[in-house]
Structure 1
């Protein structure tokens, strides 16, 4: 009787375990492995030097200590469970009970009694896709212990009493960050794939991985610039942001790009897009097959887009008002000059939409009626349900952030990029750490991740205003935000609004976008797309991916709205196009950039977008 028969080959995971598979984990050339491990350690030392040197020279000042805030927050959870012996025993008992269940299942499998099956709590996780995480007793035990420990830690936060909402939110977030970091999949000798790679290459993968780590810290000038794609495969203006057009206006804050028509006639009302300044506008123009901008041009829109400046210390005093006046208002004037039209449709994306909403309220108070419709893409105007980004915003953390921005004159783009990556650490951080630095593999070319890495800096005055007025104090929806010496009231915005949320959005949660609809004073059509903050927006019809839901105005709770909504497969773009045409479908002869108004200043995509952080 062979080993497979002894363990019950038709049963569970260990039944498929073949002891001969251990060959892949036995070192064949110890001397060569030792040499490569020494080289890897040498490269790791170089990486440490790249990290330390800018700090010793004073080029990098770490005024924000997230570890200190994490310890302070989690200590409140620990204090609750340790303050009474009965609670301590309860917490220990929950964990030990789970461990005992794992141990008994392991013994059953090893003794050939079959697989009793894992409880639902041991959820499927793509970090553990390799079959060895289930077939190999050692790795299977590690996986199960890790998963139940992570779930136990989350329950400790959930069940802790006496925590205010913000502290509980932060504690839950920090626990997820910790459990994501300590996953056995993230370590060389507890990840079967990496372990096999070490054996098969005699450690050459670690040598290459530590070399890549050194390069990434050097590229970040003392900060880890985690490579998520092959940067050499992309260049803005060469295979990204290709839609033809001209820069028709430029201010200290932005360039305004007008795109060349592809139809004989165009809609009478031009279309101006206000993207977020936290990232660059070409997320809407990644390439011809994915470009929302090109698609709009092909539908007959005269499209303009704001390309925000990538600020440095010279722009430190530029405020929210500056971005409103020298950004949106400046661009509206440029559209007027280039087309002769005063009736304009606007689109605002993410924080660009938040700025647009506040600007429209100011317009309403001044009697400025140029904007005839507003489309908001994954935009928050009410921040009660703003999601995990609120973890980074409280008085203490804002004070530290403002001190850092004051010292440098800007917030480094890497800081915001890191914050966004942390929202999905198990997808956007650790898989790349494992693949890049432990396996020593270059990431695949992916345009979206190139854009994600092309981060922008932020001015201290603008960013501090945004965080305080929106995330911390929620002043916009309350009618308490002050701009240009007057209170901003979204109820004054009575133009038609198309408000798109993405169901899996982790930056502007659908619940938050939905809640914000009720603050506008005019008709609001709420639409929910499938996927997340990017894919839910950048979803060309030709791809036939995802879906969207419609159910009229945002009334009641989001779950109730969804329950009665109509689901349509594919992209929301045609639905939006029909919404625009229903409000005004008049057409005129196609408008070429530069045919009217001042002479163009250059070719699209302009110069501001080319400045890297």
Structure 2
């Protein structure tokens, strides 16, 4: 018969054995970190001038309005002391309880112990008191340039988020409870996950968000049938197999963003826009971009237009025998589709019959949440990076996007993986999110300097390919879909760009949700609705106030729009012809390059 002491002894031995394994993992950890390439500090935070200006502003405020500064300090001290006294008073009653807690709505503190246990509750409340004090100080900084204040607010919030007690083992009840329940196995598994992520990314800490072994392109995602019928140094052109006997005569070419892979539009059968378009009776082509290496250092936006957009249009016209095509551009590819339309206008080329834009920015006068990253010190650092490596590595862009939502995309996954020892979920969207692509050095600088920083396309003209390209040149019938909570391409900024385009036929739709979920929104889910308003002369806020809300996906509304611009029905064409032999099955080979499989 086993006694309680025997069980306790066995558990203790198991925990000791598990902890001893950490020594071997620690050696791997040191080796992985030591192999990390030297990083450019400009890509990790602002230069010292920003903090110097902030300190100068704070000191100036102390001199000019000392009562206000002391009032804030006194309020912070008062809250902290009151919090301490209340905690002591509760403990003095001989009960293991927490004082009254007014902070109840933060998802990070969902474990009941944050509210009931005096230790965890004290740590949580004091952290939130500290956070509020920092935020209040920033709000009251009156002498800072607005952009500097926005940057300081962003980077201060990063520090606040990083210092959350949930991010540390000793102050995370979930992690501690699991460590005890598993005799330390969860900590061992977590360290294994940490070391594995470091080894997989050459010493860079990139938190794995999804189980990469759960997905295989062409097998359980990106499975819509099609053929690669053209390939050059920039693109593979995929012609999707028709599923209807007849199709509309005007073909559709979809240009996805090249920051990520195209299969966001073909994740699985239930939410594949690519599959849905073919089912509606359209001849669909999709561009799959190359994932460039350092040999693409001198590739610029002109190459994406010439060898990507213009070549795809030329080949699709040739294979279908049509004089015009309908084009879709998503995100940065939507921005570049606009550049292409301006260029074709200058050349008198009417190959594009209509244009659809998904979350596409063309007016960068308001840089929104990207303001912290679009100032000279950060862009200077990117220029140094691309001059050294020839490209902007995918993890830098991925890290930038992730830290815009750091609690959801950095710290919470890190806690689950590294402290709880959990395997990442088999989630197709997160798998795609981690399958980024590099950016050629020249193209990255052109985009960041000429479009984002200088806003040349909307203000004065963007010099490219021997022409001065301008938004007002875009006179093709267009439909733009933006997303209500998009933090990458805010709908108001998308709207301002469309307002400046020269087209007499404009349709603007705002889908509920964000940059991805608002676009990948199939009718079958009946999840997110959309807003429409035909009056494009209004300011963004007035447009939205007067917009009509429609429940359900925008896809059917857009299909009605594109149908009116797609011509009569003709017999469906199978992929390829004598001039375009089939080079392989969809999703092709370019989508596989540098993918972590």
With normalisation by structure 2, the TM-score equals: 0.92
The answer as to 2:558 corresponding to 1:576 is yes
Could you tell me which runs of 5 or more consecutive residues in structure 2 were left unpaired when the two chains were aligned: 1-7
CA drift of 1:502 comes to 0.8
CA drift of 1:603 comes to 1.5
1:69-468 equivalence runs, <5 A: 69=46, 72-83=49-60, 84=62, 86=66, 88-100=69-81, 102-103=83-84, 106=87, 118-119=101-102, 122=103, 124-468=105-449
CA drift of 1:207 comes to 1.3
Which position in structure 2 is the counterpart of 1:552?
Answer: 534
The answer to whether the Cα contact below 8 Å between 2:98 and 2:121 also exists between their aligned partners in 1 is no
Task: Tell me the distance in 1 between the aligned counterparts of 2:123 and 2:98.
Answer: 17
Which position in structure 2 is the counterpart of 1:10?
Answer: none
Give the SS at the match of 1:482: strand
The answer to whether the Cα contact below 8 Å between 1:337 and 1:596 also exists between their aligned partners in 2 is no
CA drift of 1:34 comes to 5.2
Most deviating of 384-393 and 207-216: 384-393
1:474-485 equivalence runs, <5 A: 474-485=455-466
Give the SS at the match of 2:222: coil
Give the SS at the match of 1:382: coil
Deviations 1:381-426 (A, max 9, x none): 0112232223112222222211211211211111111111111111
Change (3 A) 1:488 1:125: same
The answer to whether the Cα contact below 8 Å between 2:98 and 2:116 also exists between their aligned partners in 1 is no
CA drift of 1:461 comes to 0.5
Task: Tell me the distance in 2 between the aligned counterparts of 1:128 and 1:78.
Answer: 32
| 2:40 paired residue among 63, 84, 91 | 63
Change (3 A) 1:75 1:370: same
Change (3 A) 1:71 1:102: farther
Pairwise CA RMSD of aligned residues? 2.3
The answer as to 2:514 corresponding to 1:537 is no
Give the SS at the match of 2:424: coil
Aligned length: 580
Q: Which runs of 4+ in 1 moved over 6 A?
A: 114-117
Change (3 A) 1:76 1:272: same
Give the SS at the match of 2:270: coil
Which position in structure 1 is the counterpart of 2:4?
Answer: none
Could you tell me which runs of 5 or more consecutive residues in structure 1 were left unpaired when the two chains were aligned: 1-25
Task: Tell me the distance in 1 between the aligned counterparts of 2:198 and 2:545.
Answer: 48
Which position in structure 1 is the counterpart of 2:575?
Answer: 593
Which position in structure 1 is the counterpart of 2:5?
Answer: none
| 1:605 paired residue among 587, 592, 596 | 587
Task: Tell me the distance in 1 between the aligned counterparts of 2:456 and 2:41.
Answer: 25
Change (3 A) 1:200 1:295: same
The answer to whether the Cα contact below 8 Å between 1:498 and 1:525 also exists between their aligned partners in 2 is yes
Task: Tell me the distance in 2 between the aligned counterparts of 1:249 and 1:463.
Answer: 26
The answer to whether the Cα contact below 8 Å between 2:99 and 2:118 also exists between their aligned partners in 1 is no
Change (3 A) 1:156 1:70: farther
Give the SS at the match of 1:477: coil
